[in-house]
């Protein structure tokens, strides 16, 4: 049976070779025999002991050629303790960046998987704008791995846990045009994934409809920091403040640029009585 499966896979690759979603070149996915398959590794929780680049390569091996996979840059220390921006200098400890020292942010802290550049930028664009919905599963697992590592890794006493995970919402017009909210797709299976793990994870809820986008806003691309903040002013509201009162909330989005969107969301959540709001994104700019 194994021989027949290998023959079938070889024929499929010969007739329908895999094409890299970033550069468009044909490639043969690497057969990584040195570690378990993606699904098995996640099921046992072993993936969380791996470094971020390893996890990215493992999840994206069927979508990216080896050259494009090497373009992934994880967000690593030293970084800003508040907004999570990675400093260009790779020396020193984590500390507050200039903008965070000079301005107040409503969220407690923000963290991201990788830098929004060579590989992660076109990959996210494929997911959001080119209907590559098959990327939802690996991207969701990539962000989930970071979530578990930050909040539920071994030795954590639970103080840093989350009660509610909330996606940044889309305006109804943009939702109808795109057909899905990419932020929700990055978290929609987290509860089931957490329950499937052989780990003692506290329960958390996915609050899909907690935040409402009640104002149409122009795309943030090309706007400077001040215009982005003005564009987001009064763009969000709460569907039910009772659901956020006293809760530790994780706000999720695909990309952190200036932080105007997530900061406005955090303002609304804190105004509804949240204990604190943290931010987690797939990517962020330098």
Give the CATH class of 76-284.
alpha beta
When comparing pLDDT for 94 and 15, which is higher?
A: 94
- All residues at 6 or more sequence positions from 276 whose CB lies less than 8 Å from its CB, including other chains: 107, 108, 248, 249, 270
How sure is the predictor about 39, in pLDDT bands with cuts at 50, 70 and 90? very low
Model pLDDT, residue 90: 86
What pLDDT, on the 0 to 100 scale, is given for residue 218? 65
pLDDT tens track for 215-240: 777 665 666 667 767 777 788 999 99
The predicted pLDDT at position 10 comes to 53
Q: Minimum mean pLDDT among 141-155, 203-217, 260-274: which range?
A: 141-155
Give the pLDDT band of residue 34 (cuts 50, 70, 90). Answer: very low
Mean per-residue pLDDT over the chain, rounded: 86
| Per-residue confidence band for 150, with pLDDT thresholds at 50, 70 and 90 | confident
- pLDDT average, residue stretch 104-108: 95
Q: Which residue has the higher pLDDT, 9 or 277?
A: 277
Confidence check: pLDDT of 250 > 50: yes
pLDDT higher than 50, residue 199: yes
* Span 112-139, average pLDDT: 96
Q: How confident is the model at residue 41 (pLDDT cuts 50, 70, 90)?
A: low
* Cis bond before residue 178 (omega within 30° of 0): no
Q: Which of the four pLDDT bands, split at 50, 70 and 90, describes residue 38?
A: very low
* pLDDT cut 70: percent of the chain above it: 81
pLDDT of residue 83: 97
Q: What are the extents of the domains in the chain?
A: 76-284
pLDDT for 30 beyond 70? no
Task: Please give the C-alpha separations between residue 93 and each of 88, 90, 149, in angstroms, as whole numbers.
Answer: 13, 9, 20
Check whether 241 has a pLDDT greater than 90.
yes
Beta bridge partners of 226: none
Looking at residue 184, its pLDDT comes to 98
């Amino acid at each position: 049976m194994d021989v027949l499966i290998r023959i079938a896979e070889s024929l499929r690759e010969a007739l329908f070779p895999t094409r890299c979603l970033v550069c468009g070149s044909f490639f043969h996915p690497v057969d990584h025999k040195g570690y378990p398959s993606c699904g098995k590794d996640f099921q046992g929780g072993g993936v969380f002991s791996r470094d971020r680049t390893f996890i990215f390569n493992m999840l994206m091996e069927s979508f990216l050629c080896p050259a494009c996979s090497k373009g992934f840059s994880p967000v690593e220390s030293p970084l800003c303790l508040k907004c999570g921006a990675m400093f260009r200098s790779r020396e020193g400890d984590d500390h507050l960046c200039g903008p965070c020292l000079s301005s107040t942010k409503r969220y407690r802290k923000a963290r991201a998987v990788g830098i929004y550049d060579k590989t992660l930028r076109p990959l996210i664009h494929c997911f959001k704008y080119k209907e590559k919905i098959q990327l939802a599963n690996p991207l969701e697992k990539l962000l989930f791995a970071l979530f578990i590592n930050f909040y539920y890794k071994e030795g954590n006493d639970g103080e840093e846990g989350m009660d509610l995970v909330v996606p940044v919402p889309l305006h109804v017009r943009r939702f109808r045009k795109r057909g899905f909210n990419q932020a929700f797709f990055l978290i929609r299976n987290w509860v089931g994934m957490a329950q499937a793990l052989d780990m003692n994870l506290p329960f958390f809820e996915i609050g899909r409809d907690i935040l409402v986008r009640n104002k149409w806003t122009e795309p943030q691309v090309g706007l400077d920091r001040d215009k982005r903040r003005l564009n987001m002013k009064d763009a969000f509201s709460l569907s039910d403040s009772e659901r956020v009162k006293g809760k530790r909330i994780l706000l999720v989005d695909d990309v952190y640029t200036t932080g105007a969107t997530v900061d406005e969301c955090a303002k609304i959540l804190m105004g509804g009585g949240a204990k604190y709001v943290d931010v987690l994104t797939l990517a962020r700019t330098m």
